Structure 1
Amino acid sequence: MDLTSYWFKWIVLAVLTFSSIPCLDTSTNGDSVGPTPTGVSLQLQINDTSNTDEPPPSEDQTSPGNENEFCPDDVDCHKLGAECIDCNLDTNCHYGHKQTAKCTVKDGINCIGKKTFSIEYDCKYCYQVDPSLYTCNSSSTCTVVKAPRQTFIAKCQVKSEIICLGNRQFHKSLPCNWTSGYKWSTALLLSVTLGGFGVDRFYLGLWREGIGKLFSFGGLGVWTLVDVILIAIGYVGPSDGSLYI
């Protein structure tokens, strides 16, 4: 074996040995006690990049005054809504009876007069107050004209000026009650005058029945008469399940 081939084998062996050693990241911080694996370093770099791209929180997001955006300035303190004051309510009160609570205006809210005052309220939980004292969202997906009448779960919010016990937001089961603009008088008029051609059914969005009435000449008059009665009593309504207006 000559000297050249001997050194060539040692060089190849050294290259293979060093290539099998995993790459180590030597750019570690002062808190590290050893090298960091490349995959972890790459993940840290990605996280650092994403953190630098994210803008710092604005003053509106962190400012305590943003929570009181529904609390106007320069009004009498006792006229502020429930979102603007903290009241000491008695949960052991007698249901339905008048109670007196001591309320204090929240920090950061400017108002006129004393910031600590007494206010009267009815001993009721918020979901027990009169329906005229809270507002709920509506639903346009449930069917109104159906027996038994369908209900949906609505999210309700007590009005600002109402003081009550418990959560001011709550869920309530309400009957489906929405409209998409169909008039009962128009549907009945079309049924009486042009019902033989299925115009009443077309108006209500019931185009399949309308085609059937059109090609059968209103079921030789029988279907037309039946539809007049059904529309008059409200049994036949819009195809989307809404109420007449």
Structure 2
Amino acid sequence: MQAVTVNVIFALIATVRASNQISVNCSVPLIGQYKCETPIIDPSTEQPVNCGRNNKATINCTLNKGYVCAEDGVSETFVKQIPCLFTNGYYFETSLLLSIFLGMFGFDRFYLGYPGIGLLKFCTLGCLFVGQLIDIILIALQIVGPSDGSHYIIKYFGPRLTLLDADNDSLTAVQMEL
């Protein structure tokens, strides 16, 4: 009888303790409900250490006091994915300098992994220097990148460009006439 009473008391204490905590969906918590560890940045790539080919890195996060994950009702930690840019060893500065100084021989395209275009530029002297000029512009604007689909290694506060696209899901604002 005493064992049952003790178990009931512990169950009530656990219920009261659990009722003071708010359940949160840990797959999409709201801002202010959690804190995440600062990602460790790899100095050679200027990206988080565990950045994958899907351009995502994982970091550990902890819910603030008074919150628990709704999935199990107990845990206060979860893993969150943050955006990153996967790099595979191609430097922006190197490709731009190769394009400026040796682009007429196609060295920039060989470096980026396009041997066919590099050979064409080599045989035609950079398509009579027009191809070299076009490649300088395309590489400087970061339109042409490495052939494996990775991103350039650019310093963290370097000249990184972000291309914006507009599609059917983009919202547009109507301009009022004066």
Tell me the TM-score normalised to structure 2 length: 0.52
Q: Output the CA distance in 2 between the equivalents of 1:197 and 1:189.
A: 13
In structure 2, relative to structure 1, the CA distance for the partners of 1:155 and 1:185 (3 Å cut) is: closer
- In structure 2, the gaps of 5 or more residues are 1-16, 40-47, 70-74, 154-178
Query: Which has the higher relative contact order, 1 or 2, with Cα contacts under 8 A spaced 6 or more apart?
Result: 2
- In structure 1, the gaps of 5 or more residues are 1-86, 93-122, 143-150
In structure 2, relative to structure 1, the CA distance for the partners of 1:138 and 1:227 (3 Å cut) is: same
Give the superposed CA RMSD. Answer: 3.4
SS at 2:110's partner residue? helix
**What's the CA shift for 1:128?**
3.3
**How many residue pairs were aligned?**
117
For 1:177, the equivalent position in structure 2 comes to: 85
SS at 1:237's partner residue? coil
Q: Output the CA distance in 2 between the equivalents of 1:180 and 1:132.
A: 30
Larger radius of gyration: 1
1:191 maps onto 2:99 in alignment:
yes
1:128 maps onto 2:36 in alignment:
no
Q: Output the CA distance in 2 between the equivalents of 1:192 and 1:155.
A: 38
1:239 maps onto 2:147 in alignment:
yes
Counting only pairs closer than 5 Å after superposition, residues 151-230 of structure 1 correspond to structure 2 as 156-158=59-61, 163=65, 164-166=67-69, 168-170=77-79, 172=81, 175=83, 177-230=85-138
Q: Output the CA distance in 2 between the equivalents of 1:162 and 1:182.
A: 40
1:139 maps onto 2:52 in alignment:
yes
Contact 1:181 1:244 in 2 (8 A): yes
More helix by share: 1
Q: Output the CA distance in 2 between the equivalents of 1:91 and 1:237.
A: 47
Contact 2:61 2:80 in 1 (8 A): no
Contact 1:182 1:244 in 2 (8 A): yes
In structure 2, relative to structure 1, the CA distance for the partners of 1:162 and 1:182 (3 Å cut) is: farther
SS at 1:181's partner residue? strand
Tell me the TM-score normalised to structure 1 length: 0.39
AA aligned to 1:158 is C
**What's the CA shift for 1:124?**
8.9
In structure 2, relative to structure 1, the CA distance for the partners of 1:91 and 1:185 (3 Å cut) is: same
Q: Output the CA distance in 2 between the equivalents of 1:90 and 1:195.
A: 63
For 2:22, the equivalent position in structure 1 comes to: 91
Contact 1:133 1:162 in 2 (8 A): no
Moved over 2 A (4+): 123-132, 134-138, 154-157, 161-165, 167-172
SS at 2:60's partner residue? strand
**What's the CA shift for 1:194?**
0.4
SS at 2:68's partner residue? coil
Tell me the alpha carbon deviations over residues 211-245 of structure 1, each in whole angstroms, 9 at most, x when there is no partner.
Answer: 12112221111111000000111111111222222
**What's the CA shift for 1:193?**
0.6
**What's the CA shift for 1:156?**
4.7
Tell me the alpha carbon deviations over residues 4-56 of structure 1, each in whole angstroms, 9 at most, x when there is no partner.
Answer: xxxxxxxxxxxxxxxxxxxxxxxxxxxxxxxxxxxxxxxxxxxxxxxxxxxxx
Contact 1:155 1:169 in 2 (8 A): no
Q: Output the CA distance in 2 between the equivalents of 1:176 and 1:209.
A: 29
